[in-house]
Amino acid sequence: MDFSSFLNNLTPATGFFYFLSFLTILTGLMVVLSKNPIHSVLYLIATFFCLSGHYVLLNAQFLAAVNIIVYAGAIMVLFLFVIMFLNLKQEDEESKTNLTKIAAMVTGGTLFLIFVAVFRKTQFGAFDAYSFDSQVGMVESLGEVLYKDYLLPFELASVLFLVAMIGAVMLGRREAGDRHF
Amino acid sequence: MTIDVALIIKAIIILLIFGITLLIAMYSTYGERKVAAFMQDRIGPNRAGPFGLLQPLADAVKMFFKEDFIPSQASKWLFILGPCLSMLTALMTSAVIPFGDSVKYESAPGKVWDIPVQAIDVNIGILYVFGVVSLGVYGIMVGGWASNNKFSLLGAIRAASQNISYEISMGLAIIAILMMTGSLSIRHIVEQQHGGNWNIFYQPLGFIIFITCAFAECNRTPFDLPECETELIGGYHTEYSSMKLGFYLFAEYINMFVSSAMISSLYFGGYNYPGMDWVQAQLTSSLGEIAGHNVGTLIGTLVFFAKSLFFVFFYMWVRWTLPRFRYDQLMNLGWKALIPLAMINIILTGGAILFLKPLIVSFLK
């Protein structure tokens, strides 16, 4: 199949999928490649938006909205918050020695190799348009699955969150006689 | 051909909603000055046009003709991106608010289109609003950081921490409403308040938490610490001039209107009003099925705007009445008062749904 026939057979949904995927990879690359940390954070937010677009294409609107609220709306604000406090004028070269560069290349290359090896021969389940339930990504079905089939993992995850929350409060707690302002 | 007319009506509705949002934001600036003048025993703007009604236009012209200045040490593209983001997120929210019931249109005999007066009716409407609101802080943060000014940066950081803190209790206040209605669609929530069944009677505590957080999210007095002029000159928009500054200020007024519309649709019944069914029956019997329904929708929409504009007035009323919080007081209120209160509200609501409601139902039998 050559490229022109591929373009001719493109439906709007698949066209939009390829466009979104292109944007996702582009913004993801820019996160790594841009020199300024603030630009990296903003590109990462754009990446989250593209991922939410993919969720909407899969008719999982709830996940799309929650992805935006939690990652783009809360976590990245904190990232930006911390980076704004850092003094960006100083070039911090300590962490970029040759040894760390080689180590990063080896680990990243190994991970890439593993991914290629795993996905090269994987058989993905065939998509059946007739048995597909378009409501599978809605809030109601998500809630039923979460609170019926996966109740124990869900509860364990919430206990984990509780522990993390208490830990954060303990770390930020003011000692006796300590004043912050 | 028939579907085309329905689409055109929908497009007109979307354009009208967009235009009316902008118009109301524009005249809120005029309203704010008049309200301030009234409260301080002054006259307020009265030079441009009758009663000073052309004042917003004069302001816009002035904004456009000011010098558009970008500081030499500022990060140029982010400096431009800041106000754009602010404006974009402010305008995106009004898409899911139901401004009225529906417009009926008969394309052929017996074939009636029923078009809701709402830009898009997504089934996660509240989450959409919540997501867009949580993005609103980026405009301020990016602009404040890109200005390369200590006061701007401090304003941006204040805005970020304030928005994050108050978003939590706002979400918890909404969860109590969701428990009662069992739907994330704002239209469903409004429809369930039909017949004087307004959420404010069931959720008075939730309403107080929600409106406090709405004030904080809009950066309005008494929570206007990101731009308080006595401490930070102008806060995050210190370095801005011309229409970029205009965008920041204008986005604040759009946010005010949209949050007023949210308050009236979540807690005050949206386009429902007492005696609605009677009016609807009178209209359909005198004007016919379709025309009567459309006129009824128009009245409902006007009621909705009246409620929203009351809350816009309430914002101004509070601004010229209350002094500003100190920063540690703001944080204490958010984390130590509003969040526990919102959690108590959730527990009370859950208890009432589980125990009180069956008790009352069995008592009435």
Taking the C-alpha atoms of residue B118 and residue B270, their distance in angstroms, rounded to an integer, is: 12
Question: With contact defined as beta carbons under 8 Å apart, do A43 and A37 qualify?
Answer: no
User: Which residue of B131, B137, B164 is in closest CB contact with A68?
Assistant: B131
Strands B111-116 and B102-108: antiparallel
Sign, Cα dihedral of B235, B240, B241, B247: negative
Taking the C-alpha atoms of residue B137 and residue A75, their distance in angstroms, rounded to an integer, is: 13
How many CB atoms neighbour CB A96 within 10 A? 11
- Per the listing, tokens 């304030």 go with B162
- pLDDT bin (cut points 50, 70, 90) of residue B155 is confident
Question: With contact defined as beta carbons under 8 Å apart, do B48 and B55 qualify?
Answer: yes
User: DSSP per residue over A122-181, as a string?
Assistant: --PPPP-TTT--TTTTSHHHHHHIIIIITHHHHHHHHHHHHHHHHHHHHHTPPPTT----
Question: Is pLDDT at B285 greater than 90 in this prediction?
Answer: no
**Tens digit of each residue's pLDDT (9 = 90 or more) over B99-122:** 888 777 776 666 777 777 777 777
Q: Is A61 on the interface with B (CB under 8 A)?
A: yes
**In the beta sheet, which residues pair with residue B105?**
B113
B70 CB-near residues (< 8 Å, 6+ apart): B76, B79, B80
Cα of B14 to nearest chain A Cα, Å:
22
- pLDDT bin (cut points 50, 70, 90) of residue A89 is low
Q: Is B153 on the interface with A (CB under 8 A)?
A: yes
Four-point Cα dihedral B67, B68, B70, B75, nearest 10: 180
Question: With contact defined as beta carbons under 8 Å apart, do B337 and B164 qualify?
Answer: no
Sign, Cα dihedral of B15, B16, B22, B23: positive
Sign, Cα dihedral of B36, B41, B46, B51: positive
Q: Is B196 on the interface with A (CB under 8 A)?
A: no
User: Residue A1 has what pLDDT?
Assistant: 55
CB contact under 8 A, B157 and A139: no
Question: With contact defined as beta carbons under 8 Å apart, do A163 and A171 qualify?
Answer: no
Closest CA to B94 of B124, B123, B116, B125: B125
A87 CB-near residues (< 8 Å, 6+ apart): none
Taking the C-alpha atoms of residue B322 and residue B328, their distance in angstroms, rounded to an integer, is: 17
- pLDDT bin (cut points 50, 70, 90) of residue B12 is confident
- Per the listing, tokens 């974009």 go with B88
The residues spanned by each domain of chain B are 2-364
CA B210 to chain CA centroid, nearest Å: 12
What is the average pLDDT across B8-27?
85
Question: With contact defined as beta carbons under 8 Å apart, do B229 and B145 qualify?
Answer: no
Question: Is pLDDT at B219 greater than 90 in this prediction?
Answer: no
Question: With contact defined as beta carbons under 8 Å apart, do B238 and B146 qualify?
Answer: no
User: Which residue of B124, B138, B141 is in closest CB contact with A61?
Assistant: B124
User: Which residue of B128, B134, B328 is in closest CB contact with A74?
Assistant: B134
B332: amino acid identity, one letter: N
Question: With contact defined as beta carbons under 8 Å apart, do B262 and B192 qualify?
Answer: no
What is the average pLDDT across B44-72?
84
What is the average pLDDT across B324-330?
83
- pLDDT bin (cut points 50, 70, 90) of residue A114 is very high
Interface predicted TM-score of the whole assembly (ipTM), two decimals: 0.80
Taking the C-alpha atoms of residue B117 and residue A173, their distance in angstroms, rounded to an integer, is: 50
When mean pLDDT is compared across A80-94, A142-156, B149-163, the lowest value belongs to A80-94
Question: With contact defined as beta carbons under 8 Å apart, do A101 and B168 qualify?
Answer: no
**Tens digit of each residue's pLDDT (9 = 90 or more) over B76-102:** 888 888 888 888 888 888 888 888 887
Four-point Cα dihedral A101, A107, A110, A115, nearest 10: -110
Q: Is B120 on the interface with A (CB under 8 A)?
A: no
- pLDDT bin (cut points 50, 70, 90) of residue B44 is confident
b/e per residue B287-298 (b: at least 16 CB within 10 A): eeeeebbbbbbe
For B102, phi then psi, to 5°, come to -160, 155
**Which residues of chain A make contact with B175, given a CB cutoff of 8 A?**
none
**Which residues of chain A make contact with B153, given a CB cutoff of 8 A?**
84
What is the average pLDDT across A3-19?
79
Helices (H), A34-149: 37-57, 61-67, 76-85, 98-120, 139-144
Taking the C-alpha atoms of residue A121 and residue A118, their distance in angstroms, rounded to an integer, is: 7
Question: With contact defined as beta carbons under 8 Å apart, do B256 and B90 qualify?
Answer: no
**Which residues of chain A make contact with B147, given a CB cutoff of 8 A?**
none
User: Which residue of B122, B142, B157 is in closest CB contact with A61?
Assistant: B122
Question: Is pLDDT at B331 greater than 60 in this prediction?
Answer: yes
What is the average pLDDT across A29-52?
88
Closest CA to B193 of B275, B258, B268: B268
- The Cβ-side half-sphere exposure at B91, using a 13 Å CA radius, reads 17
User: Under DSSP, is residue B175 helix (H, G, I), strand (E, B) or coil?
Assistant: helix
Taking the C-alpha atoms of residue B206 and residue B134, their distance in angstroms, rounded to an integer, is: 20
Question: With contact defined as beta carbons under 8 Å apart, do A72 and A41 qualify?
Answer: no
